[in-house]
Amino acid sequence: MDDIYLTTEDIAEQLQISVFTVRRYIRSGKLRAVKLEGSYRIRRSEFERFLKAREIGEQPDE
């Protein structure tokens, strides 16, 4: 398992939002997470997918 896991606090800090908002994304199914003894953990790859799905604007030609 090479995946890195982030906490709700890590994500909240990176996005400059509240931990409550991150938990709301998880509970609504917008952000996938695992729950370990009452704490959520989010794979970095899932966090990147979550952000990519919310990008706005045209994609540059490749």
Question: In this predicted model, what pLDDT tens digit does every residue of 33-62 receive, in sequence order?
Answer: 999 999 999 999 999 999 999 999 876 666
- Residue 34: give the domain boundaries: 5-52
Q: What is the DSSP letter of 30?
A: S
Q: Which residues contact 62 (CB under 8 A, 6 or more apart)?
A: none
62 inside domain:
no
Mean pLDDT of the chain: 92
Q: What pTM was estimated for this model as a whole?
A: 0.83
- Comparing C-alpha atoms, which of 31, 59, 36, 60 is closest to residue 46? 31
pLDDT digits (tens, 9 = 90+) for 17-41: 999 999 999 999 999 999 999 999 9
Under a CB-based contact definition with an 8 Å cutoff, are residues 9 and 19 in contact? yes
Task: Give the C-alpha distances (Å, rounded to integers) separating 48 from 4, 8, 34, 37.
Answer: 12, 14, 16, 24
In a domain, 18, yes or no: yes
pLDDT confidence band for 2 (50 / 70 / 90) = low
Residue 33: which CATH number? 1.10.1660.10
